[in-house]
Amino acid sequence: MQLEIEDLHIGFPGPRGFAPAVRGVSFAMGAEKLGIVGESGSGKSLTARAILRLTPPNAVLRAKRLRFDDIDVLSASPRALGAIRGRRAGLILQDPKFALNPVMTAGEQVAEPLRLHKGLSRRAARAAAVEMLAQVRINDPAAVAHRYPHELSGGMGQRVMIAMMLAGDPELLIADEATSALDATVQAEILRLIEDLVSRRGMGLILISHDLPLVSHFCDRVLVMYAGRVVEAVPAAELRKSRHPYTQGLLLCPPSLMRPRARLPVLARQPDWAEVA
């Protein structure tokens, strides 16, 4: 799997003219773990959704290049897009309460992509779904398969989401704030699970979050976005050596348990951060 994005622009027509949200993002990735970090409104989620062309209907997209292997995403037919979405690339969203179908059991939801993408029979898919639930380390997967989303805890719901996304054997997994709504103890478990599955299956991972320390913990490389642009791309191991004052600011702003400070540094946002270099 090779993903190539060059000069991606996404904007929305509005009452006060065209509002750009993503302004010239470029990157390429293969089977690696890439983090995209930024504050709300930085364009990180829109960028990831553009890969699956799952941007809102009124969004205007243009790019010099937006390719998923040999598929040109911008000109792809619905059929070709269907081959990417859920099959070659899976998307995990923040809140399983909204992302899961409330009137289908966990097992049915994991079985659906198995039938759709792999052509398994209803019965075989059901058995495979239980196996998938076991893979995302759900205890007693056969019982959980019969539960509805409202009967699952947040962490369990997110595991079901991951199982569903992995069912199609994707080459790329996009996790958009996939653990932000979860408790710290569960968050770490889910991220370790994702990391482990991605490494074992040789998949690519795009981890999108507002939490820079968290992302750098689980990724090889991090893109830092600000006002619709990538302001810095750094190897996760060298994050502390990052040069951009915005990246530095994101690292220094949060309070620290071990290094207490009477006052926290705040970001002095510079207009040129938003300018195209």
The binding site for other proteins (CB under 8 A) comprises 39-40, 154, 183-185, 188, 210-214, 216-217, 239-240, 249-251, 253-260, 262-267
Q: Beginning with the edge strand found earlier in the chain, give each strand of the sheet holding 33-37 in spatial order.
A: 89-92, 172-176, 204-209, 33-37, 221-226, 229-235
User: 186: which residues sit within 8 A by CB, 6+ positions away?
Assistant: 154, 155, 158, 179
Give me the least distance between CB of 93 and other proteins, in Å please. 18
- Shortest distance, position 253 Cβ to other proteins, whole Å: 4
Closest separation in Å from C-beta 225 to other proteins: 12
Query: Per residue, what are the HEC states of 44-80?
Result: HHHHHHHHCCCCCCCCEEECCEEEECCEECCCCCHHH
The least CB distance from residue 174 to other proteins, in Å, is: 21
Q: Give the C-alpha separation, 235 to 167, whole Å.
A: 30
Smallest distance, other proteins to C-beta of residue 244, A: 14
Q: Judging by DSSP bridges, how do beta strands 221-226 and 229-235 pair with one another?
A: antiparallel
Any idea what the Cα angle at residue 150 is, between residues 149 and 152, rounded to 5°? 65
Token pair, residue 57, equals 């209907």
Which residue bears the tokens 């062309």?
Answer: 53
Name which of 65 and 217 has its Cβ closer to other proteins: 217
Q: Give the residue with the Cβ less far from other proteins, 172 or 219.
A: 219
Between 78 and 260, CB nearer to other proteins: 260
Residue placing its CB nearer to other proteins in the complex, 109 or 216:
216
**127 vs 252, beta carbon nearer other proteins:** 252
